[in-house]
Homo-oligomer: A and B are copies of this chain.
Amino acid sequence: MKLGFIGLGNMGAPMARNLLKAGHDLTVFDVVQSNVDALVKLGNGRVKSANTPAAILGSGVDAVITMLPAAQHVKSVYLGSDGILSANVKDVVLIDSSTIDPMSAREVSQAAASKDALMLDAPVSGGTGGAEAGTLTFMVGGEEGLFNRMKPLLQEMGKNIVYCGGAGNGQVAKVANNMLLGISMIGTAEAMALGVSLGMDAKVLAGIINTSSGRCWSSDTYNPYPGVLDNVPSSRGYSGGFGSDLMLKDLGLATEAAKLAKQPVPLGSLAQQIYQTFSLQGNGGLDFSAIIKLFTK
């Protein structure tokens, strides 16, 4: 396939490289010229650059993948004066893998439909490591037939490709899952810190929780207490992993979506505040399991 790719940052660049490796020719756009140059060079003739998002369409692509930091960039890239939808997009498949709020995703999706484009929202989890290794999880919203048709393409960048329902539902699934993740992580941190301060051994406590009703991914796979698990950020000074400020961003999306849906999310909202406090104290760059530092001396 001939593909367009917009957004060649920490996540987008390795995703684009995996598509290149799979044999596709690419036309790419990024506001940072060095990001573009690096991929063009790597492409050895198979990667072209475009001056605007709209110009990618002019090069005759079958599908365009976008991977951008926030809703404002997505709106600009799709709806702006030089944006994707200003070009002829009839029957072109547009896949937005940015993590944004569901309402914005649906707004862009409707605009795309009105131009006869075919659109999927497909946010990912798995971080830069998953992007490099091609093992990302894609949560996909949009028309089911289109999902089935595009699944092989997404499998070139990821391992677990999940259909979530109509337009925007990929974003809904991600936002709901990650809100619960943020809550569970803080809850696990509170429980571990409390138990240890009351005299329990951290590994023994984790072992009991992991075979009881408190069991969760944050406890059994990514425990925030140092020394409980090997090869997780808590055992290497909270470096690497999923940054606290990224969790803060996702909790911000969740609470924003909840506000628009008139839905209470008291723990999700307090979790957002706790990560905001942690960030203000200068810890936004640490892995999100470092939140346990707020509960230990």
Contacts and interface: CB of A to CB of B under 8 A. Distances in A.
B180 A188 contact: yes
Contacts of A214: 176-181, 184, 217
B213 A181 contact: yes
A168 interface: yes
Contacts of A162: 207-208, 211
A16 interface: no
The range of chain A's interface size is 35 or more
Interface stretch (A75-83, A108-116, A147-155, A250-258): A250-258
Given A200-B172, A252-B259, A267 B264 contact: no
A215 interface: yes
A195 interface: yes
A42 interface: no
Given A176-B195, A215-B217, A217-B215, A280 B264 contact: yes
A204 B164 contact: yes
A175 B194 CA distance: 9
A166 interface: yes
Contacts of A169: 198-200
Interface of A: 102, 125, 137, 139, 160, 162-166, 168-169, 172-173, 175-181, 183-184, 186-188, 190-195, 197-201, 204-205, 207-209, 211-219, 221-222, 252, 254-259, 261-274, 276-277, 279-280, 294-295, 297
Given A173-B208, A197-B263, 16 more contacts: A125-B213, A168-B199, A169-B198, A169-B200, A173-B205, A176-B214, A181-B213, A183-B267, A186-B267, A194-B261, A194-B268, A213-B217, A259-B272, A263-B295, A267-B270, A280-B294
24 contacts: A160-B211, A162-B208, A164-B204, A172-B205, A173-B205, A176-B191, A177-B191, A179-B194, A183-B267, A186-B267, A191-B268, A194-B254, A194-B257, A194-B258, A198-B257, A213-B221, A252-B259, A255-B255, A264-B273, A264-B294, A265-B273, A266-B274, A267-B274, A269-B272
